[in-house]
């Protein structure tokens, strides 16, 4: 689905004193596992001075708002885009995990790619395991599985950006090696796919930014916002880095 590269932030532009665009590309509402309705999330983005908001609902059925949720989501977002057109660049996207060892995306409905403006590819639950299994995996296995999935996303023709690379492993199992993050960034950049910088998973954020700058990567700012108050956290974190 490849987006125009102007949608993302070139890492090379985030030098000291730079102005970081006020964009949010990773947010959830009550259409998946967010706690706030879309209008509250959108109003929060406007109140925080966001210029662009991409809502990225999950596609895992256990996280969505029941049967026919996707149709309702698209209809609601179409109406919201018209309502807020003069105040916010609003887009409807999806956060889509890989579903198997071949790196195929979890898209339960055949029209999801065509109707979504943005695909945020992710490694969530590792293929063949459950969330209950994951904390008990051997660290070496966890790193290997997540790295393999990320490298598949890094060349996937339908992926616009990769969500929190290495973040699941880092947050739930063991630190994800920066040398492998470097390889993911290098490959994704070669294929025109952006890298999400996400303070909810990547802490401290500065080493991740430096890797992206070294490869002249495209950055997708994402806060992993599951409530209205978390909108813009990635923008704030990046602004703090370039202001230091």
Element (H, E) at 242: helix 233-243
pLDDT of residue 19: 96
Q: What six digits make up the tokens of 25?
A: 């590309």
**DSSP alpha helix (H) spans, 125-202:** 139-153, 167-172, 178-190
166 CB burial (10 A radius; 0-12, 13-18, 19+):
buried
Residues 6+ apart with CB under 8 A from 56: 25, 26, 27, 28, 93, 94, 95, 118, 120, 163, 222
Q: In the predicted model, is pLDDT for residue 23 greater than 80?
A: yes
Using left for φ > 0, alpha for ψ between -120 and 50, and beta otherwise, residue 203 falls in: beta
- Amino acid 110: pLDDT: 84
Average pLDDT of the chain? 96
For residue 3, what pLDDT band results from cuts at 50, 70 and 90?
low
- pLDDT category at 6 given cuts 50, 70, 90 is confident
Contact at 8 Å (CB) between 156 and 187?
no
CA distance 191 to 8: 14
pLDDT at 5: 72
Asked if 10 and 192 count as a contact pair (C-beta separation under 8 A), the reply is no
74: left (phi over 0), alpha (psi -120 to 50) or beta: alpha
- Among 3.30.70.100, 3.40.50.80, 3.40.50.300, 3.20.20.140, name the CATH number for the domain at 5-243: 3.20.20.140
* Alpha carbon distance 84, 98 (integer Å): 32
Q: How confident is the model at residue 42 (pLDDT cuts 50, 70, 90)?
A: very high
Q: For residue 235, what are its two tokens?
A: 């923008």
Report whether 123 contacts 148 (CB < 8 A): no
pLDDT tens, residue by residue, 158-212:
999 999 999 999 999 999 999 999 999 999 999 999 999 999 999 999 999 999 9
Q: Tell me the average pLDDT across 31-56.
A: 98
Mean pLDDT of 107-117: 94
Answer whether residue 2 shows pLDDT above 60.
Answer: no
């Amino acid at each position: 689905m490849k987006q125009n590269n102007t949608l993302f932030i070139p890492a090379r532009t985030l030098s000291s004193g730079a102005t970081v665009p006020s964009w949010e590309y990773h947010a959830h509402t009550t259409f998946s596992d967010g706690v706030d309705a879309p209008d509250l999330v959108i109003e929060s983005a406007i109140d925080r001075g966001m210029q662009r908001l991409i809502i990225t609902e999950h596609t895992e059925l256990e996280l969505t708002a029941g049967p026919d949720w996707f149709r309702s989501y698209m209809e609601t977002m179409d109406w919201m885009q018209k309502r807020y057109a003069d105040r916010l660049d609003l887009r409807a996207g999806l956060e889509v995990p890989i579903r198997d060892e071949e790196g195929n995306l979890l898209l339960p409905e055949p029209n999801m790619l065509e109707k979504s403006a943005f695909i945020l590819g992710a490694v969530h639950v590792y293929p063949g395991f459950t969330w209950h299994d994951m904390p008990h995996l051997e660290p070496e296995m966890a790193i290997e599985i997540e790295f393999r999935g990320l490298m598949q996303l890094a060349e996937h023709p339908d992926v616009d950006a990769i969500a929190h690379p290495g973040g699941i492993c880092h947050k739930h199992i063991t630190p994800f090696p920066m040398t492998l993050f470097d390889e993911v960034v290098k490959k994704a950049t070669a294929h025109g796919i952006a890298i999400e910088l996400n303070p909810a998973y990547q802490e401290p954020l500065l080493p991740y930014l430096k890797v992206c700058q070294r490869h002249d990567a495209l950055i997708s700012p994402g806060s992993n916002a599951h409530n209205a108050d978390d909108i813009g956290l990635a923008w704030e974190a990046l602004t703090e880095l370039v202001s230091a």
